[in-house]
Amino acid sequence: MTNPPPVPSLSDAFGRRISYVRLSVTDRCDLRCRYCMSEAMSFLPRREVLTLEELAELADAFVARGVTRIRLTGGEPLARRGIDDLARMIGRQIGNGLEELTLTTNATKLADHAQALFEAGVRRVNVSLDSRDPDRFRHITRTGDVKQVLDGIAAAQVAGLRIKINMVALKSLNEDEIAPMLEWCGAEGHDLTLIETMPLGVVDEDRTDRYLPLDGVRTKLEERFTLTPEQHRTGGPARYLRVAETGGRLGFITPLTHNFCDGCNRLRVTVDGKLTMCLGHDDHVDLKQALRTGGRAALDEAIDEALRLKPRRHHFEIAGRGAAPAVARHMSVTGG
C-alpha cells in the first residue's frame, strides 16, 4: 500500500511561510470597548457560526499543513459555551505538529476557565487591559469592572499561565497610564504590548480623537526607561524591547506608523468560517462551505486559493475626521 502524497505546506505568493492561525470562536463580547465596537452591536445568529467540532477540524487541517501556533480569539472567546472542550480538542495536537495553543481574552471570565485552559495545554494568554483605573476602565469598556479582570489575571497566574498584557494606546484617554502600566507589569512578571488603534468597523467615536502614534510614546518612555531591542518573537507582529528597570519586555504593534507586513506569517478564521487573508482587507475565502460540502480535499483547495489571494500588505490609515474606516468589518468579527 502506498502512502498518500504529503499535503503541501502553507506559503503565499510572496514567499511568506504561514505558521500561525488566529481562530475566532465567537463574535460576541461582554464588553463594548469604544475603539472596537459600537454600543449597539448586531451579532451573528448562532446557526451561522461554526460548531466546536468544526472549529477543531479546521485546527487539525491547519496543523496538517504545517501551522505550529493557534490562537483562540473572539469577540471574547471565554463567552463561547464549550470553550474548555474546544481547547482540549485542539490541545491534543500539541506535540503532534502544534507547538503552542494560546488565547486572547478580556479576562472577565478567566477566573472560571484558567485551570481548564492549563489542563488543555494552554500555557500563556494575552489579556486586553487598557486601564487599571476602575472609572476609566468602565468608561473605555462602557460596562466593565476592572476587578473582574484583575481577579482573572490572578487566577491565571495560580493556574500556571503566563500573562501578556495588551494595551491599546488612546490619546487623551490612557496615555498617562502607559508608564505606570509598564511598571506594574514588570512588578507582576507580565510582558506588556502597546497597540495602535486600528480603523476597523464603524464605532460611535471618531478615531482621529484617540489615535496615538507609538513612535512618540516610545520616545517619551525612553526618557524614563532603558529600552533595548531584542529578537524575542511570539509569532505575531509585535517587536520587543527589554526594559532594564523592570527586567520585563515591552512590545509595540504599529500597523499605522510602521508597516509590519513583510514578515506576516498569519491567517485569520472568523467564527462563521471565513478565512481572511489580511486584517486590513475585506477579501476572504469560505471555509465553512468547503468544510460542510466537500470535506478535507475541498478545505485544502480553499486554503490554497486564500494563499494565492493573500495581499502583500495592509493599507491602514487614520484618515481625516468623519472618514469611513479602512475596513467595514469590526475587529470582534475577525478576531484579534
Residue 29 marked ligand-binding: yes
Give the span between the Cα atoms of 2 and 56, in whole angstroms: 28
- Whether residue 58 is annotated as binding a ligand: the answer is no
Please tell me whether 22 is known to bind a ligand.
yes
Report how far residue 105's alpha carbon sits from residue 112's, in angstroms, rounded to the nearest whole number: 13
Instruction: Please check whether residue 200 is in contact with residue 38, taking contact to mean a CB–CB distance below 8 angstroms.
Output: no
User: Can you give the pLDDT of all 336 residues of the chain as single tens digits?
Assistant: 445 555 667 888 788 888 999 999 999 999 999 888 777 777 889 889 999 999 999 999 999 999 999 999 999 999 999 999 999 999 999 999 999 999 999 999 999 999 999 999 999 999 999 999 999 999 999 999 999 999 999 999 999 999 999 999 999 999 999 999 999 999 999 999 999 887 654 445 656 677 889 999 999 999 999 999 998 776 667 889 999 999 999 999 987 655 555 667 788 999 999 998 776 566 789 999 999 998 889 999 999 998 888 766 555 555 544 544 445 545 555 555
Task: Judge whether 185 is annotated as a binding position.
Answer: no
CATH superfamily of 20-165+262-334: Aldolase class I (3.20.20.70)
CA distance 276 to 316: 16
- 172 annotated ligand binder: no
From CA 320, how far away is CA 298, in angstroms rounded? 43
> In 3D, which of 121, 19, 114 has the Cα closest to residue 70?
19
Neighbour count for residue 53 (Cβ, 10 Å): 12
Cα–Cα dist 92/95, whole Å: 8
Is 71 known as a binding-site position? yes
What does the alpha-carbon distance between residue 40 and residue 204 come to, in Å, rounded to a whole number? 9
218 annotated to a ligand binding site: no
Q: Is 131 annotated as a binding residue?
A: no
Q: Residue 208 corresponds to which cell in the numbers above?
A: 482621529
Contact 215, 239 (CB under 8 A): no
Write phi, then psi, for 65 (nearest 5 degrees).
Answer: -95, 5
Find, among 103, 136, 106, 110, the residue nearest to 36 by Cα. 106
Q: How far apart are the first and last CA of the chain?
A: 44
To the question of whether residue 128 is assigned a binding role by annotation, the answer is yes
User: Is 210 within any annotated ligand binding site?
Assistant: no
pTM of the model: 0.86
- Do the annotations mark residue 36 as ligand-binding? yes
What b/e string do you get for 221-243 counting C-beta neighbours within 10 Å, with b at 16 or more?
beeebebeeeeeebbbbbbbbeb
Cis peptide before 75 (omega within 30 of 0): yes
Grid coordinates representing 36? 472596537
Closest CA to 56 of 201, 269, 220: 269
Question: Is 35 labelled as part of a ligand binding site?
Answer: yes
15 appears as a binding residue in the annotation:
no
The rounded distance, in Å, linking the Cα atoms of 209 and 298 is 45
- The answer to whether 264 is annotated as binding is yes
DSSP 241-278: EEETTTS-EEEEE-TTTS--GGG--EEEE-TTSEEES-
| 268 known ligand binder | yes
Does 234 count as an annotated binding residue? no
For residues 60 and 276, give the distance between their C-alpha atoms in angstroms, rounded to a whole number. 18
Q: What does the angle CA 269 – CA 31 – CA 57 come to, to the nearest 5 degrees?
A: 25
246 is in an annotated binding site: no
The domain limits of the chain are: 20-165+262-334
